[in-house]
A and B are shown apart, each in its own frame.
Chain A
Amino acid sequence: MAEMEYKKETRSVEGSWPMEHWSWKFESIALISKTREAFKEKKLLGLKCPGCGLVYFPPKPYCRCMSEPDEWVEVKQQGTITTYTFTGAWAYEGIKEEEGPAGEPLIIVGVNFDGSDTLTVCTLGEAKPEEVFVGMRVQLKWPENIEGRLDDIAHVVPLRE
């Protein structure tokens, strides 16, 4: 009987998780469709919870208080930054451009639109990375052609009050 010779790397076998055959269900798609339609009239529609009064924007079919949000309310197009980051590569502190690949800076911010109780993720334009801060006031910037897509509301700019 041949002794087993201990190998540092043995054979490998392959396989996959064929998630292409999974198909998930989302009531939220139906809710957000209504909100997306309203984009065409430049309106932001959120859904208010009858249990605790929280307003979800974009809408969500259930609330953390276990009620089902059921009242459409209009959300303001101004909001406050609650969190942020930058893609591309900049040094921090001075935020110099010397590091990493070049490219247009993309500032990604979490925005709490006035009249809602939720965070929505957007990009921030017309501002430099070093100007961003938590608590900064921003204003939604609609695209030139509003198509009723979820990313129609993906851009904000500093609110000049």
Chain B
Amino acid sequence: MGPGIEVGQVPRAALPINPAFQWSVGNWMDHFYDGLKEGKLLASKCPGCARVYLPPRMICERCFTKCEEWVELPETGTVESYTVAHVKVGANGEFEELPQPEVIALVKQDGADTCVAARLQGGSASVGMKVKVVIDPEAESFVNMLAGYRPAE
């Protein structure tokens, strides 16, 4: 500011307004959720390059082809990577300490070419370990029907 005008600490303003959204998931994801409801893991498959997408995608990113084939995947998969989370992001966008650390894993389901990010139960993890999917058709929110993974052994 110019001479004679002291702003001091720059003032702030806020508003308690949170714009809401409702995203249609599309038919591919809808079919995926239908499958989970029946305890099945449904993935979409590219008819061109045979790439298998889980979660399913309508279009193969590599071939630009519609993935109109569906495959049911086995319950087993492999941990591609993981992190032990000591915090989570709270509603206000800051880290909050978790009471108990939890494992977030990237799991490649057997037969799939993409990964799912999910909680891994059991405390310990390693890259390459075999895991089994945990499906909860009764989950409160359908997005959590794929509840997570547990060690295969």
Contact = CB atoms under 8 A, between A and B. Distances in A.
B117 interface: no
B12 A26 contact: yes
Contact of A16 (B21, B24, B70, B71): B21
Nearest to B33: A11
A31 B8 CA distance: 11
Contact of A17 (B19, B24, B33, B70): B19
A156 B28 CA distance: 59
A38 to B, nearest CB: 14
Contact of B10 (A26, A47, A71): A26
Interface in A89-118: none
Given A18-B18, A25-B11, A1 B71 contact: yes
Contacts of B27: 4, 6-7, 10
A31 B5 CA distance: 8
Given A15-B23, A17-B19, A18-B91, A70 B14 contact: no
A129 interface: no
A65 interface: no
Contact of A10 (B5, B18, B29): B29
B95 interface: no
B63 to A, nearest CB: 19
Contact of A27 (B1, B15, B21, B70): B1
Interface of A: 1-7, 9-27, 29-31, 34, 47, 50, 61, 68-72
Interface of B: 1-8, 10-31, 33, 68, 70-72, 91-93, 142-143
13 contacts: A4-B27, A9-B24, A14-B20, A17-B19, A19-B18, A20-B16, A21-B92, A24-B12, A24-B14, A27-B10, A34-B5, A68-B1, A68-B2
